[in-house]
Amino acid sequence: MARKNCCFPAGFPSFSLTLALIFFLSVNPLRYCSAGGHDYRDALRKSILFFEGQRSGKLPPDQRIKWRKDSALHDGASAGVDLTGGYYDAGDNVKFVFPMAFTTTLLSWSIIDFKRNIGSELGNAVKAVKWATDFLLKATAKEGVIYVQVGDAFSDHSCWERPEDMDTLRTVYKIDQNHPGSDVAGEIAAALAAASIVFRSLDSSYSSLLLDRAVKVFEFANRHRGAYSSSLHSAVCPFYCDFDGYQDELLWGAAWLHKATRRRQYREYIVKNEVILRAGDTINEFGWDNKHAGINVLISKEVLMGRAPDLKSFQVNADAFICSILPGISHPQVQYSPGGLIVKPGVCNMQHVTSLSFLLLAYSNYLSHANHAVPCGSMSATPALLKHIAKRQVDYILGDNPQRMSYMVGYGPRYPLRIHHRGSSLPSVAAHPARIGCKGGSNYFFSPNPNPNRLIGAVVGGPNITDSFPDARPFFQESEPTTYVNAPLVGLLAYFSAHP
């Protein structure tokens, strides 16, 4: 099937002329456009496959990434609970529940909004969600206690070893009424509520279990308020400190519970707490630490559908978010590289690229259904323009960039070969049955050789503001993949596979 031109979307001339020119002058994709376009369906399949490489615990018979084996089979034993399963969040072997829960929420949102575009990969996408939710149910099974981390990060980061060989401390960390963590608990509630929607038509009893648990976890988060990085500072900082406070996760959890239950109490909670919990703060941020932009986009769907006029302020915030990240409109927190990539301060820039692009795409769909455009001063941002910007980011990831390199492992003719990932960079158990100790992996870490195991579908942290990329393990900010980079990308790739 012939592919559409990847550089200009259908309907390009209908954009606001001024805004389109600003976009074209600031981000010129013609220089890097792939002649044949991209195989978004192949990229979608690989982006979902990646999650199997991140699995912890007893692997199932249908495991497709064969170089991975069972690992961390005694997680939770020191606390007398079963905390096996779940995901390693990135290239290390710690299970951080805060980013794992956010990953689950975004995977679920990808399925909820783009289910009909996922096609034959729907089953694998649902399995990716369930691998996380099964773990989250274990982590929240004990009344009044939520387990939020397995593994001592400092011990883990002093070693370079396969998850199958792990002998670092598997310390279990928890929150309770005396050591609150409304941020991580609120995110878990959001994840369980979002996943309950995914399973509603597939497994009603499992869906009900997820939703019932989401309600209880949210009640805990709201009743015992506080940041988990205050209660567990020495364990979770500087790795997954909540720098933006717990307030956004409470609104985020309530928004997903309202979407899943339609109960008036959650809508009233949102209205009552909009100002108190600072819904309008830092609207140009969205990720595991900051949910503000996501909250406003998610709730705005109700407003744009004409079902929630009392929540109009969230749409105003969502519109402001859109205007704040458009190319050519000056904003100190959002920049674009010369090659056109969204760049924000901090590590693992690609997490911002995929999460913000997901919101652009989701909001563009909501706007389309309402026949609405976003006013940005004297200009107008149409749904078509938002889709084009999101697609430009996806195409950059897949190879339309100054390096002419795909930043997804296994996609395209050229991609990162030395990613910062323990399991990928060390010989597999099948190739090297003998144990590789804590310091025994150092030679592999510093080796210039490509990783022996390809983590298909992994999207790395990506290039910097100058579009340069060092394909080397020690440069972890650029070369490390994470689950929360891939989760929103699933929705993006699903949509563009159906609308290339």
Residue 10: what pLDDT? 37
Q: Is residue 25 part of a domain?
A: no
The pLDDT of residue 334 is: 84
Per the structure, how many domains does the chain have? 1
Q: Does 471 participate in catalysis according to the annotation? A: yes
What is the DSSP track for 408-454? Answer: BTTSSS---SS-S-HHHHS--TTT--S---TTTTHHHHH--SPPSS-
- Which residues is 96 bridged to in the sheet? 149
* 420 catalytic residue (yes or no): yes
Q: What is the mean pLDDT of the chain?
A: 92
Q: Per the residue annotation, which of 420, 421, 467, 478 is the catalytic one?
A: 420
Among the options 289, 302, 319, 471, which is catalytic? 471
- Residue among 361, 353, 292, 318 nearest 114 (CA): 361
d(CA 40, CA 320): 30
Under 8 Å between Cβ of 300 and 261: no
What does the pLDDT read at residue 56?
A: 98
In eight-state DSSP terms, residue 297 is H
Q: Is residue 17 one of the residues assigned to a domain?
A: no
CA angle 476, 480, 482 (to 5 degrees): 140
Lay out the sheet containing 95-96: strands in order across.
Answer: 95-96, 145-150, 172-176
**pLDDT tens for residues 376-404?**
988 899 999 999 999 999 999 999 999 99
pLDDT at residue 4 in the model = 35
At 226 the pLDDT is: 96
Domain membership flag for residue 30: no
Give the Cβ contact number of residue 207 at 10 Å: 18
Does residue 18 belong to any structural domain of this protein? Answer: no
Q: Which residue has the tokens 């430009």?
A: 392
Q: Could you tell me if residue 101 is inside a domain?
A: yes
Q: What is the CATH number of the domain that holds 323?
A: 1.50.10.10
Is 136 within a domain?
Answer: yes
Residue 380, domain member (yes or no): yes
Q: Where in the sequence is the domain holding 205, given as residue range(s)?
A: 40-56+71-498
Question: Residues of the chain whose pLDDT is less than 50?
Answer: 1-18, 20-21, 24-27
187 is catalytic: no
Q: What is the pLDDT of residue 3?
A: 35
Residue that has been written with the tokens 């015992």 in this structure: 224
Q: Is 337 left (phi over 0), alpha (psi -120 to 50) or beta?
A: beta
* Residue 298 included in any domain: yes
